[in-house]
Amino acid sequence: MHDHRETVAVVAGGTQGLGLAIAERLVREGCNRIVVAGRRQAEGAAAAGTLAALGAEALFVPADMGRTADAVAIIDAAADRFGRVTALVNAAATTERGSILDCTAEDFDRHMGVNARGPFFALQRFAQRAVAAGHPASAVNILSMVTHCGQTCLAPYSASKAALANITRNAAHTLRHHRIRVNGVNCGWMDTPGEDAVQRRFHGATDGWLEAAEARQPFGMLVKPAHVAGLVSYMLSDVSGVMTGSVVDFDQNVAGAYPE
């Protein structure tokens, strides 16, 4: 367990799946002031209610990370409510399919907007306010193993997450003298409600697809949100010390390995 009693957090994409798991982990470890943001009002209200039941003062801010003004407004809303923001998690993402052969300009722009531009400007505003207030802060960007390459059907998604990986490192380099740390997590194939919807929408999956997929994995499971939440909590906490600019692969498949 990490000590988040002094943490004031914003989790973009915190209304379901991994983002909500991270928000719950932070609250269980002492964070009692937290903002979750997402596009859907009902899910956002439910997430805020869940966090409040755990003892936090929780605020839901409606936001589409594809709109830069929304991404900035999340940080401002949190700072206005709580006085400051010390932790940011960029977990919002879009994962529509498309290859180099059929991806449209609109598809590409949507991925880059939600997965790279939105997080960039949320991080920028987060850093600006922390620098102005003179307090340390820590951010984690949720990336993906696709930053190493990605499946053929994930061309725009892979491009956008690769961009965010570079944003992570570049921001870490820029902000370190302000005592602001920025790290990232390359998540592997994960068991979330969003992934279930994607499998059914794009790949014709039916009930039982998860069990079949997990049976093929080395550890007999897909990545679980609760596992990643523990790493993110560590990265955001003082326990991780001066760690910054790190992008950690969180998967059971090793990038660069080949079948023997």
Please list the active-site residues: 157
What ranges in 113-178 are assigned the alpha helix state H? 118-133, 155-175
According to DSSP, residue 190 is labeled B
Report how far residue 247's alpha carbon sits from residue 205's, in angstroms, rounded to the nearest whole number: 31
* Ramachandran angles phi, psi of 222, nearest 5°: -85, 165
The amino acid occupying position 26 is: L
Hey, how many other C-beta atoms are within 10 angstroms of the C-beta on 81? 14
Pairing of strands 137-144, 57-62: unpaired
- Tokens 């951010």 correspond to 139
Strands (E), 168-256: 180-187, 247-250
In contact, 89 and 19? CB cutoff 8 Å: yes
Hey, how many other C-beta atoms are within 10 angstroms of the C-beta on 240? 18
Report how far residue 18's alpha carbon sits from residue 15's, in angstroms, rounded to the nearest whole number: 9
Please provide the distance, in angstroms rounded to a whole number, between the alpha carbons at the two ends of the chain.
39
Q: Which of 96, 247, 223, 248 is nearest to 157 (CA)?
A: 96
Residue 11 parent element (H or E):
strand 8-12
